[in-house]
Amino acid sequence: MDEKRLLMTFKNTLGNSFTITVDDPREDLEEQEIIDAMNLIKDKNIFQPKGYDIAACISAKVVDSTTTEYDLEV
């Protein structure tokens, strides 16, 4: 089973990093769309992790992972 996740990393006003994860991002997602979304999240204070405002957008990446499950009888 393949899984893709968009990880957007921000820094809050204390200088601590945190990541917002979006499962199954669109295949045709463009870099500018991610930048715009991250800036919107920051500018509108949509999230306040642990009560602190977002101070900066740090990075974004799409992680593609494969999970192999085994049906084991124990």
Hey, how many other C-beta atoms are within 10 angstroms of the C-beta on 19? 14
Count how many domains the chain has. 1
- Cα separation, 59 vs 32, in Å, equals 13
- Residues 21-46 have a mean pLDDT of 96
In a domain, 12, yes or no: yes
Domain containing 60: what range? 2-66
Of the pLDDT bands very low, low, confident and very high (cuts 50, 70, 90), residue 57 is very high
pLDDT higher than threshold 80 for residue 38: yes
pTM for this prediction? 0.85
Q: What's the pLDDT at 2? A: 86
Residue 34 structure tokens: 């991610």
Q: What angle do CA 29, 35, 36 make, to 5 degrees?
A: 90
Q: How many helices (H) and strands (E) does the chain have?
A: 1, 3
In a domain, 33, yes or no: yes
In a domain, 49, yes or no: yes
pLDDT higher than threshold 80 for residue 74: no
In a domain, 71, yes or no: no
Q: What is the pLDDT of residues 43-54, one digit of tens each?
A: 999 989 889 999
For the chain, the straight-line distance linking the first and the last C-alpha, in angstroms and rounded, comes to 23
